[in-house]
Amino acid sequence: MPMSVSGSLGQHRLDRLAERAGVQRTLTARGGRSGAAAPPDLMAGGNLAASLSYGNITAAGIGTVTAVCGTRVVGFGHPMLWSGRSDLTMHGADAVFVQRDTTFGSFKVANPSAPVGAIVQDRLAAITGLLGDAPATTSVRSTMVSSEGGSRTGRTAVSHTAQLPFLTATHVLSNADVVFDGIRGGTAASAGRSR
């Protein structure tokens, strides 16, 4: 399933990073952030987002809610990653438009809301989520400071840890692009920390 990746990365830089990381899926770069809007009510025919990460870098697929029964949500009508058990985060979404695509099939462009639960199953026929607690996430945080005085701290929550290296690299590169606003020479220092 095609997936959009938010942040400041252009399509060319995202493609190069994905190629180097060995990511074998269609990724579309788009600007902006998600995870800040109030969660919309999920209802049959409404929008549903399943994310690998959200925040500074949101990697999410957008689809349609098929049914809601109590706290259980079924949607998409196809898989997201086709992983069986799932560790994706569930979001509502506000659709901006439907992008026509004759190669892979048309898809929704939307802004995911803050998390509203967890996607617990990712099967051939559909994805299933539970409203309530979001899955556990790994917090990725980077602070960029330029010698010219610009700075920014970015935060991304990653629930799909199988893609943690790629999503962390994307997060750091996106944050650097915003602060340095150009490709140029220079030096950089990095220090990692895990909790």
Pairwise CA distance, residues 145 & 157, whole Å = 21
Task: State the pLDDT at residue 28.
Answer: 63
Say if residues 66 and 48 touch (Cβ distance below 8 Å).
no
User: Of residues 51 and 95, which shows the higher confidence score?
Assistant: 51
Domain boundaries, the chain: 3-64+87-114
Residue 162 CB contacts under 8 Å (≥ 6 apart), including other chains: none
Tell me the pTM: 0.77
What the block records as the tokens of 118 is: 């967890």
Reported as a single tens digit per residue, the pLDDT across 112-129 is: 999 999 999 999 999 999
Task: State the pLDDT at residue 18.
Answer: 73
Q: What residues form DSSP beta bridges with 182?
A: none
Average pLDDT on 84-101 reads: 93
